[in-house]
Amino acid sequence: MRALIQRVSRASVHVDGEEAARIGQGFVVLLGVADDDGAAEAAWLARKIAGLRLFEDDAGKMNLGLADVGGQVLAVSQFTLYGDARKGRRPSFTRAAAPAQAQELYEKFCSLLAAEGVPVEKGVFQAHMEVSMVNDGPVTLWLEKDSG
Protein backbone atom coordinates (compact mmCIF):
# COMPACT_ATOMS: atom_id res chain seq x y z
CA MET A 1 0.00 0.00 0.00
CA ARG A 2 1.32 3.41 -0.94
CA ALA A 3 0.42 6.83 0.38
CA LEU A 4 1.52 10.18 -0.97
CA ILE A 5 0.89 12.69 1.82
CA GLN A 6 0.80 16.42 1.22
CA ARG A 7 0.46 18.99 4.00
CA VAL A 8 -2.22 21.49 3.00
CA SER A 9 -3.89 24.59 4.33
CA ARG A 10 -7.09 23.50 2.56
CA ALA A 11 -8.25 21.02 -0.07
CA SER A 12 -11.39 19.86 -1.83
CA VAL A 13 -12.68 17.26 -4.26
CA HIS A 14 -15.25 17.91 -6.97
CA VAL A 15 -17.05 15.27 -9.04
CA ASP A 16 -19.18 16.30 -12.02
CA GLY A 17 -18.90 19.93 -10.94
CA GLU A 18 -20.23 19.25 -7.43
CA GLU A 19 -18.15 19.45 -4.28
CA ALA A 20 -17.82 15.98 -2.75
CA ALA A 21 -15.45 16.74 0.14
CA ARG A 22 -13.53 19.61 1.72
CA ILE A 23 -10.98 20.02 4.51
CA GLY A 24 -9.11 22.86 6.14
CA GLN A 25 -5.61 22.41 7.51
CA GLY A 26 -4.34 18.85 7.34
CA PHE A 27 -3.15 16.23 4.90
CA VAL A 28 -4.28 15.14 1.47
CA VAL A 29 -3.55 11.41 1.33
CA LEU A 30 -3.44 9.85 -2.13
CA LEU A 31 -3.78 6.13 -1.43
CA GLY A 32 -2.78 3.31 -3.77
CA VAL A 33 -3.67 -0.30 -3.01
CA ALA A 34 -1.61 -3.20 -4.39
CA ASP A 35 -3.00 -6.57 -5.42
CA ASP A 36 -1.35 -8.28 -2.42
CA ASP A 37 -2.34 -5.71 0.23
CA GLY A 38 -4.56 -6.53 3.18
CA ALA A 39 -5.89 -5.13 6.43
CA ALA A 40 -2.43 -5.15 8.05
CA GLU A 41 -1.07 -2.66 5.53
CA ALA A 42 -4.12 -0.41 5.94
CA ALA A 43 -3.75 -0.49 9.73
CA TRP A 44 -0.04 0.31 9.61
CA LEU A 45 -0.53 3.28 7.30
CA ALA A 46 -3.48 4.63 9.31
CA ARG A 47 -1.49 4.51 12.56
CA LYS A 48 1.58 6.03 10.92
CA ILE A 49 -0.30 8.89 9.27
CA ALA A 50 -2.32 9.64 12.42
CA GLY A 51 0.93 10.06 14.33
CA LEU A 52 3.00 11.97 11.77
CA ARG A 53 4.41 15.23 13.05
CA LEU A 54 4.58 17.40 9.94
CA PHE A 55 3.39 20.73 11.37
CA GLU A 56 5.75 23.31 12.81
CA ASP A 57 5.83 24.19 16.48
CA ASP A 58 6.64 27.65 17.87
CA ALA A 59 10.34 26.98 17.31
CA GLY A 60 9.77 26.22 13.62
CA LYS A 61 10.44 22.47 13.98
CA MET A 62 8.15 19.81 12.50
CA ASN A 63 6.95 18.63 15.87
CA LEU A 64 3.15 18.78 15.75
CA GLY A 65 0.67 16.23 14.46
CA LEU A 66 -2.87 16.41 13.15
CA ALA A 67 -4.38 16.26 16.64
CA ASP A 68 -2.17 19.12 17.84
CA VAL A 69 -3.34 21.48 15.11
CA GLY A 70 -6.94 20.29 14.75
CA GLY A 71 -6.07 18.90 11.33
CA GLN A 72 -8.10 16.73 8.99
CA VAL A 73 -7.36 14.24 6.22
CA LEU A 74 -8.77 14.21 2.72
CA ALA A 75 -8.28 10.62 1.51
CA VAL A 76 -8.33 10.02 -2.24
CA SER A 77 -7.99 6.57 -3.77
CA GLN A 78 -5.45 6.61 -6.59
CA PHE A 79 -4.59 3.36 -8.36
CA THR A 80 -2.09 5.20 -10.56
CA LEU A 81 0.37 5.17 -7.64
CA TYR A 82 1.01 1.60 -8.79
CA GLY A 83 1.72 2.61 -12.37
CA ASP A 84 4.93 1.15 -13.75
CA ALA A 85 6.41 3.13 -16.64
CA ARG A 86 9.82 1.48 -16.77
CA LYS A 87 9.02 -0.09 -20.15
CA GLY A 88 7.39 1.74 -23.00
CA ARG A 89 5.49 5.00 -22.75
CA ARG A 90 2.19 3.89 -21.29
CA PRO A 91 2.23 2.77 -17.65
CA SER A 92 1.19 -0.71 -16.64
CA PHE A 93 -1.09 -1.08 -13.62
CA THR A 94 -0.76 -4.83 -13.08
CA ARG A 95 0.31 -4.36 -9.43
CA ALA A 96 -2.77 -2.28 -8.59
CA ALA A 97 -5.54 -4.09 -6.74
CA ALA A 98 -8.79 -4.94 -8.51
CA PRO A 99 -11.49 -2.32 -7.84
CA ALA A 100 -13.47 -4.39 -5.30
CA GLN A 101 -10.37 -5.18 -3.23
CA ALA A 102 -9.06 -1.62 -3.53
CA GLN A 103 -12.36 -0.11 -2.41
CA GLU A 104 -12.62 -2.44 0.58
CA LEU A 105 -9.10 -1.56 1.75
CA TYR A 106 -9.53 2.15 1.02
CA GLU A 107 -12.67 2.18 3.19
CA LYS A 108 -10.85 0.14 5.86
CA PHE A 109 -7.96 2.62 5.85
CA CYS A 110 -10.36 5.57 6.23
CA SER A 111 -12.22 3.85 9.09
CA LEU A 112 -8.99 3.00 10.89
CA LEU A 113 -7.71 6.55 10.48
CA ALA A 114 -10.97 7.90 11.91
CA ALA A 115 -10.68 5.43 14.81
CA GLU A 116 -7.30 7.05 15.58
CA GLY A 117 -9.21 10.29 16.17
CA VAL A 118 -8.49 11.91 12.82
CA PRO A 119 -11.40 13.63 11.05
CA VAL A 120 -11.51 12.05 7.57
CA GLU A 121 -13.19 13.29 4.41
CA LYS A 122 -13.14 11.05 1.36
CA GLY A 123 -12.97 11.37 -2.37
CA VAL A 124 -15.38 9.36 -4.50
CA PHE A 125 -14.01 5.92 -5.28
CA GLN A 126 -13.54 5.21 -9.03
CA ALA A 127 -14.85 8.65 -9.99
CA HIS A 128 -13.03 11.16 -12.15
CA MET A 129 -12.22 13.80 -9.54
CA GLU A 130 -10.90 17.32 -9.58
CA VAL A 131 -8.69 17.57 -6.50
CA SER A 132 -7.78 21.09 -5.47
CA MET A 133 -5.31 21.82 -2.71
CA VAL A 134 -3.17 24.57 -1.34
CA ASN A 135 0.14 22.95 -0.43
CA ASP A 136 1.61 24.23 2.81
CA GLY A 137 5.40 24.33 2.67
CA PRO A 138 5.33 22.39 0.44
CA VAL A 139 5.66 19.29 2.58
CA THR A 140 5.21 15.99 0.76
CA LEU A 141 5.95 12.53 2.12
CA TRP A 142 5.86 9.08 0.53
CA LEU A 143 4.96 6.09 2.71
CA GLU A 144 4.86 2.50 1.57
CA LYS A 145 4.01 -0.72 3.40
CA ASP A 146 4.40 -3.96 1.49
CA SER A 147 2.66 -7.16 2.51
CA GLY A 148 4.81 -9.74 4.22
Active site residues: 78-80
Contact yes or no for 101/32 (Cβ under 8 A): no
CA angle 15, 18, 22 (to 5 degrees): 85
Q: Which residue, 29, 52, 28, 20, is CA-closest to 134?
A: 28
